[in-house]
Amino acid sequence: MDKLKLRILPIVSLISFIAGLVLIIKSTGLGSDAGSAFLGGVTSSPYFSIIVQGYTNSFNMIGAVLFFLGGLGCLISIIFFEMQKQ
């Protein structure tokens, strides 16, 4: 890998890792807000809990994917930096 990619990979990976962690932690609040916005602010609908659970699961899965890919990118960049030192 050339030097530009090796400098960009840890930065992008770290941003992805942190964004995934934030999405996982805040998925409940984001899912509730998205469900409320979807129904126009009406929280007495019988489908409200189903919609909120769906949005929460979506945010949770997106966060998990970003968290995993960011962590994997960080590990790869650490391995490449260690290989360059030798």
Task: Give pLDDT tens digits for 47-63.
Answer: 888 999 999 999 999 99
- Whether residue 1 is predicted with pLDDT greater than 70 in this model: the reply is no
Closest CA to 77 of 28, 5, 25: 5
CA distance linking residue 51 with residue 48, whole number of Å: 5
Predicted TM-score (pTM) of this structure = 0.83
The separation between the first and the last C-alpha atoms of the chain, rounded to the nearest angstrom, is 16
Residue 53 vs residues 6, 36, 37, 49, 58: alpha-carbon distances, Å: 39, 12, 14, 6, 9
CA distance linking residue 78 with residue 83, whole number of Å: 9
Q: How confident is the model at residue 26 (pLDDT cuts 50, 70, 90)?
A: very high
- Poorest-pLDDT segment among 18-27, 45-54, 59-68: 45-54
- Whether residue 3 is predicted with pLDDT greater than 80 in this model: the reply is no
Look-up: residue for tokens 């995993």? Answer: 68
Residue ranges of domains in the chain: 9-81
